[in-house]
Structure 1
Amino acid sequence: MMRHRPYLVGAAIGLFGCVAIASSPAKATPCSNLQSLQLDDTTITSATDNTSGVFVVPGSNPPNTIAGLPAFCRVTATLIPTADSSIKIEIWLPESTWNGRFLGTGGGGFQGVITYGELASGIQHGFAATNSDLGTGVSGCSPLYCGSDGNMGNPLAIAFGDPAAPSTGLFGHPERIKDFGYRAIHLMTVRGKEIANAFYRQSAHKSYFAGCSTGGQNALMEAQRYPDDYDGILAGAAAFNRTHLHMAGLASWQNTHASPGRFIQPGQMTLINQAVLAQCVGRDGGASTDPFLTDPRDCHFDPKALLCTGGKVPPACLTADQVTTIQNYYAGTIDPVNGQVINPGSERGNETDDVRALGLAFGERLPEPAFDGLFYWVFGPGFGHPASAVNFANFDFHHDVDTVDDQLAAVLNADSTDLGEFREHGGKLLMYHGWADPLIPSQSSINYFNALVANGGHGFEKASFDEDGSPALRRTQSYARLFMAPGLYHCSGGPGPNTFDALTPLVTWVETGVAPETIVATKFVNDTPPSVQMTRPLCVFPKVAKYSGSGSTSIAANFTCVADEPDFNQTPAPKFGP
């Protein structure tokens, strides 16, 4: 496992509140009996009791030990829906603390591994929990790499697990691409429920899914393709517009490598962030003392303000070339011929020099673009060679986009806004996204939510900003709600209150009909519990948290959620998704 991987996967489930046990645990069959369970296209490879309270992550060096676990039955299995598939799953089953609920969980990037932290969080809060490697592990994939020209000796690439030798990921394996796109998470759900039913001798009374990043894509794909799999779905920072999101990574790398002078030096992202905050903080509903923006769409900072003048030189200022780089960073991924937006740009306020946040400071220092493995699946090994017709350095954002979309978009992009079947069976969707996300543009989740409103409103109508809300917004919020998190990086970390429990409000919504209006987020000192630095309410979109004008700005109770004014939200051209 990668040392920095938690920043990719994030705390998808968040800090759980108390999820009440709704039923007495059923008498369970011995765990080891599950070894002989016969399921379609499934090989159960192990079924063992763990009563030690600890779990050592397989293959971790030094050993990564998860403590504080209840006694549980650990089942590992391989799913083989096609001759070329090999999907690894695990399901962890609390032996005496089951709350009667089933929990599917997601991971990040190209996955390729089991996300054990999600399984541990699940059973610690009473759920029967399952996770999958999405079928990419058999191709040697890791969260960051699933196709690569090798790390080329780059120390940052090596530190983040880039394999030394070139690889082509899922090139030539269309069935594995389908597994990654949607099939693995569905079959994990179906088989996971069957295994849990056999163990507890009864079905879970409710089923939930929680994931962030790729886990968020999995979440939306489940709601769209398999609406009966889950009663409640939690989708964080969803990578739902997958092909165009990865193109944004290519564009960002090309942007900083267009010439030697375009590269952003260490420390300069922090310089830019400080200038952004100095101009904009407190003008968007938050407090003037916040080290983050509450709604970055109200900020129109121009990096020209940092242009080197007089005797100043980088990194204390930006050259004209560097100003161009940052202007492009905010502008998004653009078709150079017709000007169409392929993927939204980065929001102001997400600038960071922390490479673990997987933003520009990380991507520009790699020998090839972050997450470009996706394009090896289409173009093969040539994508890693500058002499090839199409490669990471010359990818043409006018001619090559359709080539990728024609092969991958229908399989990978979870961009349908038809959630009618999910809604009709009582399903609830709770989305969240960090306003300071340096990896997936924050407004992407707003675009998807607005598209739901438009679809539910029988016409194009964005989220209303009046006090009562439009009929289309009210209809949408009856089954789908979005919470934007100020100061949150990609799924975890960031300068704002970045820890919150979004699953318990989802459970409450599904099981009692009480929809969440606010979620309290916490910022711990040095991001390490238990010492609290501040709390802040996350407001149901499109509302924002506004300081009441008295009392500490570190206490959530001194903020109220109020209607926001209409803000411009950059959207892709219609052909590139919501």
Structure 2
Amino acid sequence: MQLVKRFRDLLVLISLGSAGLAHAADTPAGNRPATDRVTVAGIAAACDPAAVKAVAAKLPYGMVIKPIANGPKLPGGTKYVAATAQRPGYCQVTGSIVTNRKTGKTANFLATLPDAWNRKYLQFGCFGHCGFFSLNDAAMPLVTIVAQGYPGQIIEKGYASFGTDQGHEDPTGGNWAIKGPGKVDQDAIDDFLYRSNLVLARGGKAFTRAFYSQATKQKQTLAYSYFCGCSGGGRDALVAASYFPEEFDGIIAGSPYANMVNAGVQIAGNYLATRRAPGADVPPSLIAQIDPIVKAQCDAVDGVKDGLIQNPAACNFRAERDLPRCADDKPGSNCFTLAQAQTISAHLTAVTDENGRLVQPGFAVSEIMPVFREGARPTDLSAPVDWDNPPSLGSIANATLKIFTNRNDPNFDTRAIFSFAGGGTGPVTDFRAIVPRAEVEKAHVAVRMGIGDDPRNVAKLIRQNRKLLIWHNSSDEKLTPYMSVNYYKQLAAMYGGYEKLQDDIRLFMIPGSSHCSMGQQGPGNFDAIGALEDWVEKQRAPDALKASLFSHTSPFIDPSKTPLRTMPLCKFPEMARYDGKGDVKQASSWTCSPSDKRMLEVGESGRQAGVTQ
């Protein structure tokens, strides 16, 4: 009954809003205000704490302008940064906003307001389970992880941008929601699942209008409103697309943590696979030997040997069959024992329930990384798992399953719900993690408002002609790319096929790149915001995105440097085709064609990973 009540409260919040508020923009799509810059000559004075507090005081959101512990240090809660040769001037503001008027619950926010405003609003998603601002701060170089593009681009474009810590100041998985044994802070969980972003969307836009109106002494309106995020921020984006798409004209979801339950059981399963038996761990030296084996089988599947596997699902690699096995099953430096091969299989194979039904697809075979070995391997493998020491993806998984779902029940043990086996009567037969369907369904109910991959929920976005651009790194080592592939295939089946779906929702896969393009073999950086602007504002839908590779190991982007490689990212299910004669490292040697559907091909790797056919 409590879950039903919370859902009804959400519907009331979404349908009623607050008096006098606009949604995505202030006028219908066919009558937008001009997007010429609003230049504030005296923005330094407008950025004074007293002036900003006066703006906030007039708004019905309980906004308090103040310094915050988990964001940039702004005396009085504001700071003006003067223009440089590289970047325009801007005002940053921190504070809190009331997310639940009944309880007084608040979430912290950060606003970045340029002195040459483009009349647009951009809201950033967060990362992981949030609690910090380093990746949703437009002034920080690492904002490219969330927004792509290059450092300072958002400010240069003139966006008023906002982000929230989602109602807590602890960046660990879920300890911020614990109130005691068997007790959790549901208010804090609701802020994290959806509510803080919904409230900030309305409060942030109202604050933007009021700030620039006061600064210019003229009434200002919004032309367009956007949302973008990657990883946990990609989840935020899909939740917005699912439950309150009217707040944004366009949404970008990068490598989304779309379903925290399904991703959680996979993360925990990978974590436990290396600890299930004394000989199950696979050292990094052995893991490094896997990719050359995979590349030898799969690199040419897309038509050219160039070091990239565009569609890893089309490969036929299977760990237990294709990895070199150790004689007499004795560990060696260039071979895998059965237990080690099974550990790799558990990483690449879908998680299923006890009846062999798909729960979560496995990881891609391209650029396999040792991320599933996170945390120190304990001497006593039977000892209780310390998911938070050190903080890792495992702490995120445990938070979803034990804290959010089982209310921090001291008798619930995340490890206890997992088993490992191969075989079965379903399509997925390789060695894998298995979880009870009842536990998965229980978790889906508990965190439903924070799940963004139910295809039924984008019907409103499509009716309203909003735009959703999804991208996912094909070699994502933290959130399997097949989450997005399966989701998009479900959308196509439900909404009239790929061509019709592409009117409003497009997916782009990024070959050879890791989570949120933080390291890669192939081009992983592109102008996501520019592509969305063209789609929403000029009705030029992106058929391909030109991506660049600046570094194999660093997420920092320097657009003044010559890229190491460029390549088009085609809209799914198209695959980039090499012309057979040009430089494979130049985008001009590749084309995208609507008749090319090779991303739909599924081989043994994809079938065992649970890729929908």
Q: How does the TM-score come out when normalised to structure 2? A: 0.75
In structure 2, do the counterparts of structure 1 residues 426 and 148 end up closer, same or farther at CA, with 3 Å as the change threshold? Answer: closer
- Rounded Cα–Cα distance in structure 1 between residues aligned with 2:520 and 2:504: 29
**Out of 392, 401, 405, which is 2:415 matched to?**
392
Residue 180 (1) aligns with residue 199 (2) = no
RMSD between aligned residues: 3.0
Per the TM alignment, residue 363 of structure 1 is displaced from its structure 2 partner at its CA by: 5.9
Conserved? CA contact 2:184–2:408, under 8 Å: no
Structure 1 pair 496/71, CA: closer, same or farther in 2 (3 Å)? same
**Paired residues of 1:329 and 1:346 also in contact (CA < 8 A):** yes
Deviations 1:440-482 (A, max 9, x none): 111111122122212212xxxxxxxxxxxxxx32211011111
Paired letter, 2:200: M
Cα separation, 2, equivalents of 1:117 and 1:187: 17
Are positions 1:22 and 2:32 aligned together? no
Give the corresponding residue for 2:174.
146
Secondary structure of the residue aligned to 2:516 is coil
Q: What is the CA-CA distance between 1:542 and the residue it aligns to?
A: 0.4
Could you tell me which residue of structure 2 aligns to residue 379 of structure 1? Answer: 406
Report the equivalent of 1:76. 94
1:315 to partner: Cα distance: 3.5
Equivalent position of 1:479 in the other structure: 504
* Structure 2: gaps spanning 5 or more residues: 1-33, 67-76, 140-151, 214-219, 378-384, 388-393, 420-434
Q: Give the Cα separation in 2 of the matches to 1:241 and 1:253.
A: 18
Equivalent residues in 2 for 1:490-569, closer than 5 Å: 490-492=515-517, 493-526=519-552, 527=554, 529=558, 530-562=561-593, 563-565=596-598, 566-568=600-602
Deviation at 1:53, TM superposition (A): 5.2
Q: How many Å separate the matches in 2 of 1:380 and 1:69?
A: 47
User: Does residue 204 of structure 2 align to residue 192 of structure 1?
Assistant: yes
- Secondary structure of 2:173 counterpart: coil
Change in CA separation of 1:182 and 1:380 when aligned onto 2, cut-off 3 Å? closer
Contact 2:96 2:108 in 1 (8 A): yes
Alpha carbons of structure 1 residues 168 and 496: separation in structure 2 relative to 1, 3 Å: farther
Q: Which amino acid aligns with 2:184?
A: G
Instruction: Provide the residue aligned with 1:324 in structure 2.
Output: 342
Q: How does 1:250-269 map to 2 (within 5 A)?
A: 250-269=268-287
1:133 CA displacement:
0.4
Q: 1:541 to 1:560 in 2, by over 3 A?
A: same
User: Structure 1 stretches of 5 or more lacking a match?
Assistant: 1-20, 55-66, 150-165, 354-358, 458-471
Q: Which has the higher helix share?
A: 2
| Contact kept? 1:449, 1:482, Cα under 8 Å | yes
Q: 1:401 to 1:518 in 2, by over 3 A?
A: same
Greater shift, 305-314 or 194-203, is seen at 305-314
The answer to whether residue 73 in structure 2 is matched with residue 34 in structure 1 is no
Q: Alpha-carbon deviation of 1:534? A: 0.8
Whole-Å Cα distance in 2 between the matches of residues 360 and 334 of structure 1?
Answer: 18
Give the deviation of 1:313 after TM superposition: 4.4
Aligned residues: 497
* 1:126 equivalenced with 2:189 (yes/no): no
Gap change, CA 1:504 and 1:321, over 3 Å in 2: same
Contact 1:170/1:176 (8 A) holds in 2: no
Alpha-carbon distance, 1:171 to partner? 5.3
| Partners of 1:370 and 1:514 in 2: CA distance | 42
In 2, Cα distance between equivalents of 1:278 and 1:271: 12
Query: What is the letter of the counterpart of residue 476 of structure 1?
Result: L
Given that 2:129 and 2:232 are in contact with CA atoms closer than 8 Å, whether structure 1 keeps it comes out as yes
Does the alignment pair 1:209 with 2:237? no
Q: 2:483 aligns with which of 444, 450, 458?
A: 444
Change (3 A) 1:279 1:171: farther
Q: Distance in 2 between matches of 1:308 and 1:572?
A: 22
Residues 500-534 of structure 1 show CA distances to partners (whole Å, capped at 9, x for unaligned) of: 11110110111110111111111124456314211
- 1: CA distance between counterparts of 2:343 and 2:610? 22
Instruction: Identify which of 115, 118, 125 aligns with 1:99.
Output: 118
TM-score (norm. length: structure 1):
0.79
Are the aligned partners of 1:146 and 1:167 in contact in 2 as well (CA < 8 Å)? Answer: no
Q: Secondary structure at the match of 1:536?
A: strand
CA–CA distance in structure 1, aligned partners of residues 324 and 135 of structure 2 = 46
1:413 and 1:208, CA in 2 relative to 1: closer, same or farther beyond 3 A?
closer
1:48-447 superposed matches below 5 A: 48-52=78-82, 69-82=87-100, 83=103, 85-95=105-115, 97-115=116-134, 118-120=137-139, 121=152, 122-137=154-169, 141-142=170-171, 144-147=172-175, 172-201=184-213, 202-285=220-303, 287-290=304-307, 292-303=308-319, 304-310=321-327, 313-335=331-353, 337-353=354-370, 359-362=371-374, 367-368=386-387, 369-371=394-396, 372-374=398-400, 375-381=402-408, 388-395=411-418, 397-398=435-436, 399-447=438-486
Distance in 2 (alpha carbons) for counterparts of 1:186 and 1:289: 44
SS of residue paired to 1:22: coil
Instruction: State the SS of the aligned residue for 1:80.
Output: strand
Cα deviation, residue 170, structure 1: 11
The SS at the match of 1:544 is: coil
User: 1:110 corresponds to which letter in structure 2?
Assistant: H
Tell me, in whole angstroms, the C-alpha distance in 2 between the residues paired with 1:363 and 1:415: 32
Residue range with higher mean Cα deviation, 485-494 or 396-405: 396-405
Cα distance between partner residues in 2 of 1:275 and 1:68: 45
Q: Distance in 1 between matches of 2:181 and 2:47?
A: 35
Which residue of the partner structure matches residue 469 of structure 1?
none
SS of the residue 1:532 aligns to: coil
Residue 134 of structure 1 deviates from its aligned partner by: 0.8
| Residue aligned with 1:258, SS | coil
Secondary structure in 1 aligned to 2:272? helix
- The 1-side partners of 2:465 and 2:588 are apart by 32
Task: Report Cα offsets for 1:284-320 as digits up to 9, x if no partner.
Answer: 24x3031x31110111112232233459843322111
2:193–2:447 contact (8 Å) kept in structure 1: no
Q: Distance in 1 between matches of 2:201 and 2:236?
A: 11
